Amino acid sequence: MMKKISVVGLALLLALPFSQAIACEYHGNAMFGAFGIGGSHPLVRKQRVEPQQIKLEFAENIVAEVNDANVLDIKYSLPGEYQDVSLIFTSSAGLTLGAAQSEELVANNGSYALDYEVTTPGEHHIEVTAKARLNGYPYLYVQRVYLTTEG
């Protein structure tokens, strides 16, 4: 009895990919019965519009002198859909940043001068994080500047 049920079950499983399914106009493609929503469904066809990215432009690799005052010029461009945008600055050990650890951006385009000083020789980095809200959700965009020292 059990062997007969197993044979019938196996036969049904093997026939499954060849079965037909009746569906509405959005789901009536050839693969509907086996794989779900077809490519003709309005939600699948709807084009997704990706938001424009926040643009941060600055030198990515810098050679700096130890114990000299330096400035990192950061140019930014903010698309209109971002709100409450600020730049947050962090650095590796052996590097001292100017007084501001963050800066709120009020204009859509502009520049910011970040003061820094390398205190120990070697390789260092500054991390620039743009923190914002996009369509009510938190948004972060991170870029790094790599510094090496001379002298």
pLDDT of residue 13: 62
The HSE-up count of residue 86 (CA atoms within 13 Å, CB side) is 9
Burial code of 18-43, b = ≥16 C-beta within 10 A, e = fewer?
eeeeeeeebeeeeebbeeeeeeeeee
Class of domain 55-150: mainly beta
pTM for the model: 0.66
User: SS3 of 34, please?
Assistant: helix
Distance from chain centroid for Cα 117: 30
Bridge partner residues of 139 (DSSP): 132
Q: What is the pLDDT of residues 9-20, one digit of tens each?
A: 666 666 655 555
pLDDT of residue 137: 93
Residue 59 CA to residue 62 CA, distance in Å, equals 7
The tokens of 65 are what? 């002198």
Domain residue extents for the chain: 2-45, 55-150
The tokens of 24 are what? 């509405």
- Stretch 78-99: mean pLDDT: 92
